[in-house]
Amino acid sequence: MLRIGHGYDVHRFCEGRKLILCGVEIESREGLLGHSDADVAVHALMDAMLGAAALGDIGRHFPDSDPKYKGASSIMLLKKVNALLKEEGLALSNADITVIAERPVLKNYIAAMRESLAAELDTDISRISVKATTEEGLGIAGKGIAAHVVVLLEKP
């Protein structure tokens, strides 16, 4: 059985925070605002995985009203989501991640981002795609960073 899921998230730029995308620290003069480490790509990925499994969303599993998740590593939460899928007998077939950012330029980080996610999800790098695009200055991306993710899960 195959299950498809989509995830979307946006975080606003903010001074004085690290920029973490797909678990990788990116050189940037601004980070993203958020209750956790604000890894917008991992948030969208988790929502896509939960969506494919019809298990709700990250707000339900990791409420930002819970002080436990303040400053939380999104990668640690991703590992929890992956474990949840495993309990349901579901495995990630592939994930296609699009990060939408006017700045910084991400192309030199793509390989590291794929490696990071493949390692944390304990899967082959060929199953993880990370792409970056801009909105040509027309969208919300100048004020923050957005991510769209599509995943396919399989139940062997």
Binding residues vs Mg ion (CB under 5 A): 9, 43
Q: 22 and 121 in contact (C-beta within 8 Å)?
A: no
Q: Which residues pair with 98 in a beta bridge?
A: 131, 148
Residue nearest to Mg ion (CB): 43
CB of 156 to Mg ion, least distance (A): 31
CB nearer to Mg ion: give 9 or 120.
9
CB nearer to Mg ion: give 43 or 148.
43
CB of 113 to Mg ion, least distance (A): 17
CB of 80 to Mg ion, least distance (A): 15
